[in-house]
Amino acid sequence: MFFAGQHVQWARLAAELCFVQNYLPGLWNHTWSLAVEEHFYLFIGLAVFWLTGRGQVPSDLWQVPILCIGVIAACWTARLANLLSDSFNMRAFMFLSHLRFDSLMAGVLLAYLVAFRQLVERTNWIPSGVLLAVGGSLFFPGVVAGTSHPWVTVHGFVPIYCGAAGLTLLALRIPQSRNTALSMARKVGAHSYSIYLWHMPILLWSAPFIASDADSWTCTWFLAANILVILAVGVLLSLAVETPFLRLRDWCCPRGFASIKAPRHEARQT
């Protein structure tokens, strides 16, 4: 907004800086998910701290799946309550943290089951093709109906994150590859959220540089150039902003999650 010469709306800027842009109007319409994540990080840290005895971490964190299932049920119930509303509103149905924590909690539950309950090993009997087919098909209803459909915003998130869990289990079966393309894709993926955050402003800022009556080839090349710029800007800003803060975190808290290790299940000797 500064560079475009537009008037700065300070209330919207404050909502962005305070990470409440999913409850209040913000500057960009896609940063609501950033607010949800920030709220979730605070919630999950405090919740686990409280459930595990104020910092006394047990060996298996058995309270975590109970917390996950409880939050998933609560969020789903809150979305069901939205059906009592007379009209559909994207913000009220989709953007609010207390309605969307379940997707993140499903990720926490999956990570717990993989790290502490050997989920990968216990699901090795499932053919990879089945995981791919089932995981991919669970995305289908949400893609077809679209996020503006009340069914998706109430029930549709559940099959989507269940499908994502299945695809994640499939991905965990893929060994680390020395393939250059896969290695590059993995490195770029590590900066995916920064790329997501910056794709919208880059698209908006670049729009005036293409004619409204441009032919399809021009639009295609323009889109390809935009994708390359978005990837480059996202990665560079992640390295410039996020990486130093992560290093500062590791310096301030050198133990971090290294002090919480999944129990090793070694083979029993008979």
Instruction: Give the model's confidence band at 57: pLDDT under 50 very low, under 70 low, under 90 confident, else very high.
Output: low
Do 141 and 68 lie in a common domain? yes
Do 141 and 186 lie in a common domain? no
Q: What average pLDDT is seen over the chain? A: 82
pLDDT at 3: 47
Residue 267: how many CB atoms within 10 A of its CB? 5
Q: How many domains does the chain have?
A: 2
Look at residues 42, 35, 44, 40 and name the one whose alpha carbon lies nearest to residue 16.
35
104 belongs to a structural domain: yes
Task: Report how far residue 145's alpha carbon sits from residue 156's, in angstroms, rounded to the nearest whole number.
Answer: 9
269 belongs to a structural domain: no
Q: Which tokens go with 63? A: 């309270």
Task: Report how far residue 224's alpha carbon sits from residue 217's, in angstroms, rounded to the nearest whole number.
Answer: 11
Do 88 and 198 lie in a common domain? no
Do 15 and 73 lie in a common domain? yes
164 belongs to a structural domain: yes
In 99-227, DSSP assigns E strands to none
pLDDT tens track for 203-257: 888 888 877 777 888 888 988 999 999 999 999 999 999 899 888 888 887 764 4
Do 142 and 193 lie in a common domain? no
Do 129 and 215 lie in a common domain? no
Do 186 and 108 lie in a common domain? no
Q: Which structural domain range is residue 8 located in?
A: 1-174
pLDDT tens track for 113-169: 998 888 989 999 999 899 999 998 998 877 777 777 777 888 888 999 999 999 899
Do 70 and 125 lie in a common domain? yes
Q: Which tokens go with 207? A: 């729009």
Q: Which of 77-86, 108-117, 213-222 has the highest mean pLDDT?
A: 108-117
Mean pLDDT of the region 96-122: 92
Do 26 and 141 lie in a common domain? yes
Task: Report how far residue 233's alpha carbon sits from residue 198's, in angstroms, rounded to the nearest whole number.
Answer: 7
28 belongs to a structural domain: yes
Give the contacts of 194 (CB within 8 A, at least 6 positions apart): 234, 235, 237, 238, 241, 242
Q: Is 94 helix (H, G, I), strand (E, B) or coil?
A: helix
Q: Which tokens go with 32? A: 């609501």
18 Cα distance to chain centroid: 19
248 belongs to a structural domain: yes
pLDDT at 257: 47
129 belongs to a structural domain: yes
